[in-house]
Chains A and B, each alone.
Chain A
Amino acid sequence: MKKLINRADDVVRESLEGFAAAHAGMVRVNFDPIYVARIDAPVRGKVGVISGGGSGHEPLHCGYVGMGMLDAACPGAIFTSPTPDQMLEASKAVDGGAGVLHIIKNYTGDLMNFEMAAELARSEGIEIDTVIIDDDVAVTNSLYTAGRRGVGLTVLAEKITGAAAEERRSLKEVGDICRQVKDWGRSMGMALTSCTAPHIGHAMFELPDDEMEIGIGIHGEPGRKRMPVQPADEITDMLMEPIISDLPYRRGDEVLLFVNGMGGTPLSELYIVYRRAAEIAAQHGLKVVRSLVGPYITSLEMAGCSITLLKMDETLLKLWDAPIKTPGLRWGI
């Protein structure tokens, strides 16, 4: 294992210490229990929006704390969900009196820990709503699994929901906007390489040099199939077709097209994928009205990408375009 770290046990804490120092004007980092909150939290009268999950997906979630997106984020150990005391304390820290929305990626551990946190927060008089993001179409048999995983759509949901909260909408309205995003978005990813969690010290799974895995999760979970590496266009086709046919997206739909890097793939390659994805969208009569390209929800140093489509309407477009100022996303300011 070759990594730019000091000690494996210190990775999450030391990284957050650097994050806190680098973005001191936007966020404040609490270390016991660990959460990141926007510098001006709690914002009086505004719904607090919180997310969290295992570390290793940076900039998700801590990088999205700030004006127009998350009020707080709770990072767990690498690829391990955070604990209820983190979400409880974060909820208390950002509750401006209008309630708190928890945005959760659909994984067994995340659900249980957030569920406990919500029970504890409610018992302390904080109103909590919960939305579970489960956009990964690669999980085909939802009945006999933990259900579809939360992947790329999480970034878009946090941005749009955060903007809705910034407009001082009610907890119910903010939750409903998030549920609309959840219902209208779909994703699928692939890996060219595995990744190595520092505390484990070896690759999460073995993937030979000339093979790739299609339909991968963001923790190195297995995909739909493993096969010899194909050109970018063929790979993009394999991701786009299941996404489009799943919702399904229909001719005339306006969409946001998000090509995400898994951490180890250069932006130049992501644009090659975007080029083909936009062509396929056009062939299906979809109108791409917004785009996002880059490493926004990663799996450490894994090479690969995911594609997310989100159907847009006037409300979502306006919220997407709203000003945002976070370490990971910033525009309109």
Chain B
Amino acid sequence: MTPAIGKRVHMEPQTIHREDIVRWINDFAQVVAVNRDHLTELDAAIGDGDHGVNMDRGFRAVAAKLPSVGDKDIAQILKTTGMTLVSTVGGASGPLYGAFFLQEALSSAGKEELSLTDWIAMLEAALNGIIARGKAAIGDKTMLDALAPALQALKDAAIRNATLAEALTQSADAAQDGMQATIPLVARKGRASYLGERSAGHIDPGAASMYLLLKTAASTLASG
């Protein structure tokens, strides 16, 4: 059947399943491994140069754990991911990425599949969890500066009745713009804050890893 011109045909999936979540997290573990040195170099410029190393240690541990929970529900998979990160990453990234996945787990409790609306609620819960733990505000040059615009892009996409794939892609694009927008910012949280004005001119490494997480969500979850 040939789709009519101008009329959208939903060939791609409109829901996210357990296997998709497992693939997303596994794919991200690969992305972190590949970008380990890149993230570490970003951190060396304004922090203490261990972001890539710490994230890689954490997501390698997560990837090793996932097979044991791959048949559990979405919330259990996300919770295991969060708990593993909390106990392996350390630094500020451990509790913050831990909060991201633990809040996503709470928000998705009891769900067999996730709609775009569910995904938005999960990311909103993740954002609030990170704010509660890290006490940062948007514009402090942190991972929030990639996550907050990504969430807004998802909401905008939902209002426009975008497909799941479109919404996830737009959210990844917004995260990338948010990451780039951290360059001129002066850090107000974490070790980068000790640099004061000298922290301007660099991408925040937390915003960079958050962009990669959301970009991986777009590439993995949108492909179904």
Q: Decide: A219 and B191 in contact? CB cutoff 8 A.
A: yes
The interface residues of chain A lying within 8 Å CB-to-CB of B198 are 222
**Complex CA–CA separation, A115 to B134 (angstroms):** 11
**Complex CA–CA separation, A197 to B44 (angstroms):** 11
The interface residues of chain A lying within 8 Å CB-to-CB of B155 are none
**Complex CA–CA separation, A108 to B90 (angstroms):** 11
B157 CB–A CB distance under 8 Å: no
Q: Decide: A83 and B87 in contact? CB cutoff 8 A.
A: yes
Q: Decide: B190 and A108 in contact? CB cutoff 8 A.
A: yes
**Complex CA–CA separation, A178 to B88 (angstroms):** 30
Which of A72-80, A183-191, A264-272, A282-290 contacts its partner? A72-80
Q: Decide: B196 and A83 in contact? CB cutoff 8 A.
A: no
**Complex CA–CA separation, A146 to B134 (angstroms):** 11
Q: Decide: B90 and A77 in contact? CB cutoff 8 A.
A: yes
Task: Give per-residue flags for A189-211: 1 if the beta carbon is below 8 A from chain B beta carbons, else 0.
Answer: 00000000101100010000000
Q: Decide: A112 and B95 in contact? CB cutoff 8 A.
A: yes
Which of B19-27, B45-53, B107-115, B165-173 contacts its partner? B45-53
The interface residues of chain B lying within 8 Å CB-to-CB of A76 are 90-91
Task: Give per-residue flags for B55-69: 1 if the beta carbon is below 8 A from chain A beta carbons, else 0.
Answer: 001000000000000
**Complex CA–CA separation, A80 to B92 (angstroms):** 9
Q: Decide: A197 and B50 in contact? CB cutoff 8 A.
A: yes
Contact of B196 among A80, A145, A220 (CB under 8 A): A145
How many whole Å from A79's CB to the nearest CB in chain B?
5
Q: Which of A76, A77, A141 has the most CB of B within 10 A?
A: A77
The interface residues of chain A lying within 8 Å CB-to-CB of B57 are 77
A28 CB–B CB distance under 8 Å: no
**Complex CA–CA separation, A112 to B50 (angstroms):** 17
Task: Give per-residue flags for B73-89: 1 if the beta carbon is below 8 A from chain A beta carbons, else 0.
Answer: 00000000000001111
A48 CB–B CB distance under 8 Å: no
Question: Contacts A33-B87, A112-B92, A204-B44; is A80 near B194 (CB within 8 Å)?
Answer: no
**Complex CA–CA separation, A221 to B43 (angstroms):** 12
The interface residues of chain B lying within 8 Å CB-to-CB of A204 are 44, 48-49
Q: Decide: B194 and A109 in contact? CB cutoff 8 A.
A: no
**Complex CA–CA separation, A146 to B199 (angstroms):** 13
Q: Decide: B91 and A80 in contact? CB cutoff 8 A.
A: yes
Q: Decide: B92 and A109 in contact? CB cutoff 8 A.
A: yes
Q: Which of B40, B48, B193, B196 has the most CB of A within 10 A?
A: B48
Chain B residue at minimal CB-CB distance from A146: B193
Q: Decide: A145 and B193 in contact? CB cutoff 8 A.
A: yes
How many whole Å from B21's CB to the nearest CB in chain A?
24
How many whole Å from B102's CB to the nearest CB in chain A?
10
The interface residues of chain A lying within 8 Å CB-to-CB of B186 are 144
A217 CB–B CB distance under 8 Å: yes
**Complex CA–CA separation, A217 to B194 (angstroms):** 9
Task: Give per-residue flags for B92-108: 1 if the beta carbon is below 8 A from chain A beta carbons, else 0.
Answer: 11111010000000000
Q: Decide: B193 and A81 in contact? CB cutoff 8 A.
A: no
**Complex CA–CA separation, A126 to B194 (angstroms):** 35
**Complex CA–CA separation, A145 to B141 (angstroms):** 11
**Residues of A bordering B, CB below 8 Å:** 33, 54, 76-85, 107-109, 112-113, 115-116, 139, 141, 144-146, 149, 197, 199-200, 204, 217, 219-222
**Residues of B bordering A, CB below 8 Å:** 40, 44, 48-50, 53-54, 57, 86-96, 98, 133-134, 186, 188-191, 193-196, 198
Contacts A81-B91, A83-B86, A222-B194 given; 19 further ones with Cβ under 8 A? A76-B91, A77-B53, A79-B48, A80-B90, A108-B190, A108-B191, A109-B94, A112-B92, A113-B95, A145-B188, A145-B193, A199-B53, A200-B44, A200-B50, A204-B44, A204-B49, A217-B194, A219-B48, A219-B191
